[in-house]
Amino acid sequence: MEDVAMKSMKEAVEENNIDCNLTATFDGSWQKWGHTSLNGIVLATSVDTGMVIDIAIMSKHSKCKGVLGNKHEESCSSNYNGSSGGMDVAGVKEIFERLLLLYNIRYVLYLGDGDSKSFKTIEEMKPYGECVQITKLECVGHVQK
């Protein structure tokens, strides 16, 4: 399934690859409501095609915690340590960090909901250096709320 997903996301990027700059929307979700979840997912979706470009799966759950204490095995599913609400920020950051490496593409227009700290983190991180500015677009539906 992972191979199929990676192939599909690569095709989605290639469909958008006009000038190496993409407009994407970012949103996260959790397994449980109320920021108490052990698992979450963040999606980057192309605004132009509606196709998923990348995903970051975040998990605080550790299969090996009880057996080995704080030592994690290679097969351990834990890849996030922090509050459940922070998974959104960590996932968006992970997606931004790897897109340039994987596809030589940049997200330059960021469509996100108004209640996310993710854009501020990306803005401060400056993933493409000082010369490339990432612009935030506001979701009209979210602003109306």
**Tens-place pLDDT, residues 56-79:** 988 887 655 544 445 555 556 677
Tens of pLDDT, residues 4-56? 777 887 777 777 655 678 888 888 887 776 667 788 888 888 888 888 888 89
How far apart are the C-alpha atoms of 41 and 55, rounded to whole Å? 7
Does domain 2-144 fall under CATH 3.40.50? My reply is no
Largest separation between any pair of C-alpha atoms in the chain: 50
How far apart are the C-alpha atoms of 19 and 66, rounded to whole Å? 49
DSSP, collapsed to helix, strand or coil, labels residue 92 as helix
Note the pTM of the prediction, 2 decimals: 0.76
Domain ranges of the chain: 2-144
